[in-house]
Structure 1
Amino acid sequence: MERTFLDISRVVVRFAPGAPPVLNGVDLKVKQGEYIAVIGHSGCGKSTLLNVVAGLLPATLGGVVLEGSEVTEPGPDRAVVFQNHSLLPWLTVYENVRLAVDRTAGRTMSRAERDAWTLENLALVRMTDHARKRPNEISGGMKQRVGIARALAMRPKVLLLDEPFGALDALTRAHLQDQVMAIHARLGTTVMMITHDVDEAVLLSDRIVMMTNGPNATIGEILEVGLPRPRDRLALASDPRFLSAREAVLRFLHERHALPAVA
């Protein structure tokens, strides 16, 4: 039996004493190398759950264990990419990634090794030609690619993506999704991604975790996507397995757990 790599156990999050919990009893076991998408309506606690896994927010009850160690604070074994790229504007693309490398590998890699590792991660996201530019000189999609390179350069055990493509146009979003699929295939990194996009969830993930509405949100259903890798978005557009998975998620979101009508 394959050992659980990331264990989210009975997590409850309450922001104020006596208030209803945002999350109530979330249980999820993730295998190493698995790509998990978490989807649900606004206010269902998706990002709250990711922040607990990242160590940015303590659980009120329950907890998270990563490869046998309890998560109690942020750490380089869990790299986060937010919708806002959060690049330092006074540093170049290279320097933004190099900063993460120096912080996490400054004592274990030589200067030359850190330089090579920085360039290798920029090459992964096809940003080598823009390494000397500053964030205000590149597009939004490029900034997100740098953010992903910076996260991967930390060599995390888990890559946490909080709607990283949400602010991008459709073509840029599709290009980055394809790049993330290629990186996941090459590195085998364990990924947990928050998304509102049903097609994105089906295209990228091995399992889709569907959250019930908040407050008192929890996991309502988990869907095994079951699509072989590598995946081609054009081929999948008419694949009955893709369409069936898409329909299952839509039915959960819009029939079983639709948002209540506004009066």
Structure 2
Amino acid sequence: MPALLSLENVYVDFERDGVISSVLDNVSLSVNTGEYISIIGHSGCGKSTLLNVVAGLVPLTLGAALLGNKEITGPGPDRAVVFQNHSLLPWMTVYENVRLAVDKIYGGKETMSQLHERAMTNLDLVKMTHAVKKRPGEISGGMKQRVGIARALAMEPKVLLLDEPFGALDALTRGHLQDTVMALHSRIKATVLMITHDVDEAVLLADRVVMMTNGPKATIGKIVDVRCPRPRTRLSAFQDPEFLRCRQEIVAFLEQHDKVAQELTPA
């Protein structure tokens, strides 16, 4: 079965004031339909650049990025991004924020009743139907992220891109949203790429954890298969020897590259 998403020998360089900086160096990755991939690494390792390549926001210097065997040349509704900042429009209600995405993709193709049902179905997926008339300023940070996820899911993208979606939340809210995302992934079998700095989160949610080497010229240093059974809960996963094995392998990789970075830093 061919991969849904394929990055083939990807290089990304940025130029500023005549100086070229190499961010990604020969990155190759295949992602299957329904697979959940966590991407982790130290700051400056090109995680966000890699996600933006898939989103179509950053052009390649060399290589190819393919989605469904079609080259990614720009943004499109087949990929939806959820950022650390919820990015909701503050003057719109929860319902209107989700409906905006629904109308953009399906407006003119479906009846008003069908469009309404799409918006409500996705709000129900994230348990936010009780707040449809509230504006972002009237709900908590965790609720805002739930709405952001609902808006992304309402587009029915082939790939859901999560850029540290829980990074600004407190530990308790973060845990609840991790549970929500696990339940959603189990229910709708979404294909997900997620950036995170949290090792436990990376292992808990993913089928594979992709570890990036330090930048500049960052690449994929190692990939860990997470063989913890699904469905998962945080309590069962944290007690699973497989979870602990993956966690130790990732921590060892990050510590090794932290030492390398310190050795290369001028005194």
Unaligned runs of 5+ in 1: none
Give the aligned partner of residue 130 of structure 1.
Answer: 131
Between the aligned partners of 1:82 and 1:184, the Cα distance in structure 2 is: 18
User: Cα offset for 1:258?
Assistant: 3.8
Alignment of 1:22-61 (within 5 A): 22-61=23-62
Give the aligned partner of residue 144 of structure 2.
Answer: 143
Give the aligned partner of residue 3 of structure 2.
Answer: 4
User: Cα offset for 1:63?
Assistant: 2.0
Between the aligned partners of 2:179 and 2:149, the Cα distance in structure 1 is: 13
Q: Any conservation in 1 of the 2:199–2:251 contact (CA below 8 Å)?
A: yes
User: Cα offset for 1:243?
Assistant: 0.5
Q: Any conservation in 2 of the 1:125–1:179 contact (CA below 8 Å)?
A: yes
Give the aligned partner of residue 175 of structure 2.
Answer: 174
**Do residues 159 (structure 1) and 160 (structure 2) align?**
yes
Between the aligned partners of 1:257 and 1:157, the Cα distance in structure 2 is: 35
Detail structure 1 runs of 4+ shifted over 4 Å in the superposition.
none
Between the aligned partners of 1:101 and 1:181, the Cα distance in structure 2 is: 23
CA distances 1:46-104 after superposition (whole Å, capped 9, x unpaired): 00000010001111111211011110010000000000100000000000000000000
Between the aligned partners of 2:189 and 2:69, the Cα distance in structure 1 is: 19
Q: Any conservation in 2 of the 1:41–1:259 contact (CA below 8 Å)?
A: no
CA distances 1:193-252 after superposition (whole Å, capped 9, x unpaired): 000000000000000000000000000001101111000111122211110100000000
Cα distance change, pair 236–33 in 1 and its aligned pair in 2 (3 A) = same
Q: Any conservation in 1 of the 2:13–2:24 contact (CA below 8 Å)?
A: yes
User: Cα offset for 1:259?
Assistant: 5.8
Aligned residue identity for 1:129:
H
SS of residue in 1 equivalent to 2:42: coil
User: Cα offset for 1:3?
Assistant: 1.2
Give the aligned partner of residue 78 of structure 1.
Answer: 79
| Aligned residue pairs, count | 262
SS of residue in 1 equivalent to 2:63: strand
The alignment-based identity, stated in percent, is: 63
Cα distance change, pair 84–259 in 1 and its aligned pair in 2 (3 A) = farther
Cα distance change, pair 185–258 in 1 and its aligned pair in 2 (3 A) = farther
Between the aligned partners of 1:258 and 1:119, the Cα distance in structure 2 is: 49
User: Cα offset for 1:19?
Assistant: 2.1
